[in-house]
Amino acid sequence: MKKIYTLAAILSFAALTGCSDFLDQDLKSNVPGPEFYGTEQGYESLKNAAYSSLRTIYGGDPWLFEGGTDLFASGRTQVDICNMYSNAYTSANDAVTTFYTDHYKAISLANELIYWGEGNDSRKGVVAQAKGLRALYYLNLVQQFGGVPLIKERVSGILESVERSSTLDTYDYIISELKSIANSDDLVSEATDGTFNKRAANHYLAKAYLSRGYISNNNQDFLDAITAADAAGAGQPLTTDYSTLFSNAGEGNNEVLFSVVYDLTTVEDKESGNKQQAHFGAYLNGQSDGHKYTSSTLVPTLWMHEVFNTNTNNASQDERYEATFMMELRESYWDYYDETKKNTSKVQYYYCPSWELDNVDTWRSELQSRAEAKVIELKEEGLNYAGTNTTYVSKMRSDIFGLPCFRKFDDIENGKDVFSTTSSMRDIYLARLAETNLIAAEACIKTDNLSGALRYVNIVRTRAKATSAQESEMNIDYILNERARELAGENHRWADLVRTGKLAEYVEKYNPDVSVGQITDKFYLRPIPLSAIELNSALKGHQNEGW
């Protein structure tokens, strides 16, 4: 019988392959012990390793977070098969296996950090942070797989099997852990340096209550979600412009409750950042053209644009659209950010959404650099870069310069100087107050408190200068639309659609990769990876239904 080797040190160092010296643990022996972790240097090294797991989980391809949704579909490069909902998608899928494995490596590191810190008063804060990280990892797992094996303590030997907990038991554990630290003196109240803190704990507690409520059908879960969201800061005005928040200058903003922090001093080289700015855009040709390196996968669907034209009487008011998309492609992609080139760098392509098609002449007249721009029409069928009428899907899959890229995640300090998909040193925002408000709003709707939902939603829309919502509009579809406008690309969408039971409805309607009737019930959970079942005897016979 195969066994699970969960010696924490082995998992820890495997998880860190490829990291810089700054993040690597300084391994003193094959099995680190109190002579190493008992020192402050050793324990600090272990903490760095635990936090580096966030880079592994969030810094690469977001197949399980954003793929296979209504907002993003295949470009010139096809997305991973797990996003296609076909018979080729099985429990042996590499993306699913990697996601599962990376999370358990991260949990092992958190358990190690807790083990070597408990009982030491000077380490209580780090222990609380590790519990918060572990709860986040289990929250990711339960949203993707349902109930999972709960490994709650450090394991230093051979573990032959771990029973799979139920979905509700998994949520119970997550909530218990977050409640224990959310108001604890062991965590700092807030932090802008990537440290897990009380506001982040309350944010994730709110999300866990909200998600459990859909399964428990217990109204109290939704009420508790609102309470936790308020404790995290929901209800407060959002005062930073959206375009500023999503810029290099926005990093460290106190609206961001928790983030994966990147800095050139903590990586191996300028190509050892994250891939966030390389996603969600069309192919822009080679480096010689001076444009951004894009993966040309997960390009925005037409709905990703048109969602800004719903729930409003003036789509152009919503500042989030132009802060999200690079609507003007200049002679060099990065010229857009150089004010001195606004009139000298010619606009090659103008990506025009449906609600601005009648205003193209006005747009041209505002700057001389726009005079000769080719207009690419963002509608079911319209002009492409060559001046030919084509479908939107053709623009997604065939055309160079076919669609606007996301500029929301652009790193104009490092990313523009390095032609690589992994050159971004921008922080990855994991939890921020806009989402906290939308969590509270969704919980209000589930408790029939429509006036409460309206209050939270309009806090988000007021900052965007979007049309104010009305109480009569408050329903789950409105919340999903608002989450799309506010949180697109931020690693939430697949879980949002599954939680609300809208995956098949939205994806089959808006994602051209997927046909009507293709998403059956089994696709609302990922398969437990075949390799995990082979290693863990307790999982045999406990695969998710349909897989």
CB atoms near residue 119 (< 10 Å): 9
Average pLDDT over residues 232-260: 97
For 269-282, write each residue's pLDDT tens digit: 899 999 999 999 98
Determine the Cα–Cα distance for residues 68 and 71; give it in Å rounded to an integer: 8
Q: 177 near 129, Cβ under 8 Å?
A: no
State both tokens at 121. Answer: 């008063």
To the nearest whole number, what is the mean pLDDT of the chain? 93
Which stretch of DSSP H or E encloses residue 429? strand 428-432
Placement of tokens 């404790």 in the chain: 231
State both tokens at 59. Answer: 């810094």
Which segment of 56-65, 282-291, 470-479 scores lowest on mean pLDDT? 282-291
CB atoms near residue 419 (< 10 Å): 15
Pairing of strands 4-5, 72-73: unpaired
- Residue 12's pLDDT band (boundaries 50, 70, 90)? very low
Position 367 scores a pLDDT of 96
For 204-221, write each residue's pLDDT tens digit: 999 999 999 999 999 999
Position 29 scores a pLDDT of 41
Average pLDDT over residues 366-382: 97
Position 20 scores a pLDDT of 32
Best CA proximity match to 78, nearest among 353, 392, 296 = 296
Which segment of 17-21, 162-166, 224-228, 380-384 scores lowest on mean pLDDT? 17-21
Q: What is the 3-state secondary structure (H, E, C) of 496-514?
A: HHHHCCCHHHHHHHHCCCC
Which stretch of DSSP H or E encloses residue 4? strand 4-5
Q: Rounded to an integer, what is the distance from CA 275 to the centroid of its chain?
A: 12
CB atoms near residue 10 (< 10 Å): 14
pTM of the model: 0.94
Integer CA distances (angstroms), 528 to 87, 110, 546, in order: 16, 22, 11
Residue length, the chain?
547
Placement of tokens 């209580």 in the chain: 124
Position 33 scores a pLDDT of 83
State both tokens at 516. Answer: 């009507």
The helix/strand/coil state of 201 is: helix
Q: 105 near 11, Cβ under 8 Å?
A: yes
State both tokens at 253. Answer: 């903003």
Integer CA distances (angstroms), 299 to 371, 392, 398, 422, in order: 28, 11, 12, 18
Collect all residues with Cβ–Cβ distance below 8 Å to 74 and sequence separation of at least 6: 297, 298, 299, 396, 397, 513
pLDDT for residue 422 is more than 50:
yes
- Residue 38's pLDDT band (boundaries 50, 70, 90)? very high
Average pLDDT over residues 31-39: 84
Angle at 262 between CA 6 and CA 29, to 5 degrees: 35
pLDDT for residue 10 is more than 80:
no
Q: What's the Rg (C-alpha) of the chain?
A: 23
Average pLDDT over residues 343-370: 97
Determine the Cα–Cα distance for residues 435 and 439; give it in Å rounded to an integer: 6
Integer CA distances (angstroms), 433 to 19, 255, 459, 530, in order: 31, 6, 10, 38
Domains of the chain: 4-187+525-539 (1.25.40.390), 280-408 (no CATH)
- Residue 5's pLDDT band (boundaries 50, 70, 90)? very low
Position 30 scores a pLDDT of 54
For 489-530, write each residue's pLDDT tens digit: 999 999 999 999 999 999 999 999 999 999 999 999 999 999
State both tokens at 410. Answer: 């652009």
Q: 528 near 544, Cβ under 8 Å?
A: yes
How many helices (H) and strands (E) would you count in the chain? 20, 11
Average pLDDT over residues 242-265: 96
Average pLDDT over residues 56-82: 97
Longest dimension (CA), the chain: 74
- Residue 23's pLDDT band (boundaries 50, 70, 90)? very low
Position 157 scores a pLDDT of 78
Quick one: the chain helix, strand, coil %, rounded to 5?
50, 10, 40
Position 31 scores a pLDDT of 53
Looking at residue 475, the DSSP 8-state letter turns out to be S
DSSP per residue over 111-171, as a string?
HHHHHHHTT-GGGHHHHHHHHHHHHHHHHHHHHHHSS-B---S---SEE---PBPPHHHHH
Q: 106 near 137, Cβ under 8 Å?
A: yes
**Beta strand ranges found along 270-373 (DSSP E):** 299-300, 328-330, 347-353
Pairing of strands 374-378, 389-391: unpaired
pLDDT for residue 26 is more than 50:
no
The helix/strand/coil state of 537 is: helix
